[in-house]
Amino acid sequence: MKRETTPVLTNDLTFQEYMDQRKLTIDKHLDHCLPPLHTPPEIIHQAMRYSVFPGGKRIRPILALTTGEAVGGDFQKLISLAAALEMIHTYSLIHDDLPAMDDDDYRRGQPSTHKKFGEAIALLAGNGLLIRAFQLLAELPAQAAEKESKVAVLDQICRAIGTTQGMLAGQVMDLVKKGKPFSAQQLEQIHSAKTGALIEASVCCAAFLSGASEEACKKLGTFGRRIGLAFQIVDDILDSSQASSKPPATYPAMYGFEASRKMAIELVEKALQDIEFLGSRGETLTELARYISVRRI
């Protein structure tokens, strides 16, 4: 792939333009990494591509690229990580929409994958994306000195989506709690596992791959954890105000809208203190974190 320079947010590039450029770059790489449409057996590759494109906000891959930029990472490695994160996220959305889970007919402005291709192909398309994501991570450049960071990335992502502290754990806790009372601590645990962990991993893994110091990785990890939780709180607020079918374990259900919005803003403000050490290199990451607390979609 051609070497690309990373756009830095400057006076002549607005935040929205930056996001649009990043999305284009990520989409180009996703297109490059996914099996072509007519690769047999065609139906699964159609379903994988249908689910990935045109896609959503691409927050996780953009976070990975922006974090990597802030700590001087290598674009080629970061873009592979970015594509893998988006594939994993898309897999979770396909499965989350299935009748056995949230049973949603629409996703990203089009019929959900199982509505278009049937449940069996949707299930398999999700699995296909997950497998392709890990293959991309396995193919990350592996010179001896970098082996350690590659293993750290694989470990972090497995934990972020696994059954003890990750996305699967969060989904199971959410299912089990549906319609039942829940404590503030349980709510934070569900949100952090279900959504926060993959967002945290997007930041942490970019830092690992960029060879950031242990201290920087730690601070970026705390930053990622805080913005990950803020992201899900805002998602709860947006979902509830759109009156969609949402399980009751939400921040607005527990604290009300105003208090939830305030909690998300406070979490992001705290997160910004974690990345003060980046100085002016952290400007774009700061904009991105602020966007998470005020976003409307």
Build a one-symbol-per-residue string for 217-236: x at contacts with ligand GRG by CB under 6 A, - elsewhere. ---------------x--x-
Under rule CB under 6 A, residue 171 binds ligand GRG:
yes
CB of 77 or CB of 95, closer to ligand GRG: 95
Residues 55, 59, 64, 66: is their CA dihedral positive or negative?
positive
CB of 62 or CB of 79, closer to ligand GRG: 62
Q: Considering only CA atoms, which of 52, 60, 26, 102 is closest in space to residue 203?
A: 60
Q: Residue 177 CB, nearest distance to ligand GRG (Å)? A: 14
Whether 278 and 70 have beta carbons less than 8 Å apart is answered as yes
Among residues 69, 96, 200, 274, which is the contact residue for ligand GRG, using CB under 6 A?
Answer: 96
Sequence letter at residue 268 = V
Build a one-symbol-per-residue string for 185-214: x at contacts with ligand GRG by CB under 6 A, - elsewhere. ---------xx-------------------
CB of 7 or CB of 247, closer to ligand GRG: 247
Under rule CB under 6 A, residue 111 binds ligand GRG:
no
Q: Residue 297 CB, nearest distance to ligand GRG (Å)? A: 7
Size of the site for ligand GRG (CB under 6 A): 17
Whether 85 and 61 have beta carbons less than 8 Å apart is answered as yes
Q: Residue 113 CB, nearest distance to ligand GRG (Å)? A: 12
Work out the number of other CB atoms within 10 angstroms of the CB of residue 255: 17
CB of 182 or CB of 219, closer to ligand GRG: 182
Under rule CB under 6 A, residue 59 binds ligand GRG:
yes
Which residues inside 235-264 make contact with ligand GRG, applying CB under 6 A?
235
For 266, the enclosing helix (H) or strand (E) is helix 257-274
Among residues 13, 101, 124, 265, which is the contact residue for ligand GRG, using CB under 6 A?
Answer: 101
Q: Which residues does 199 contact at the CB level (< 8 Å), separation at least 6?
A: 59, 60, 63, 224, 227, 228, 231
CB of 212 or CB of 234, closer to ligand GRG: 234
CB of 116 or CB of 218, closer to ligand GRG: 116
CB of 71 or CB of 169, closer to ligand GRG: 169
Q: Considering only CA atoms, which of 2, 7, 94 is closest in space to residue 47?
A: 94
* Position closest to ligand GRG via CB: 56
Burial of residue 33 (CB within 10 Å: 0-12, 13-18, 19+) is buried
Residues 274, 216: Cα–Cα separation, whole Å: 9
Q: Which residues does 171 contact at the CB level (< 8 Å), separation at least 6?
A: 96, 101, 194
Question: How far is CA 214 from each of CA 158, 161, 271, 272, rounded to the nearest angstrom?
Answer: 20, 23, 18, 19
Query: Which of these segments, 40-48, 56-64, 112-120, 257-265, binds ligand GRG (CB under 6 A)?
Result: 56-64
Residues facing 106 on adjacent strands: 111
Give the residues lining the site for ligand GRG (CB under 6 A): 56-57, 59, 89, 92-93, 95-96, 101, 108, 167-168, 171, 194-195, 232, 235
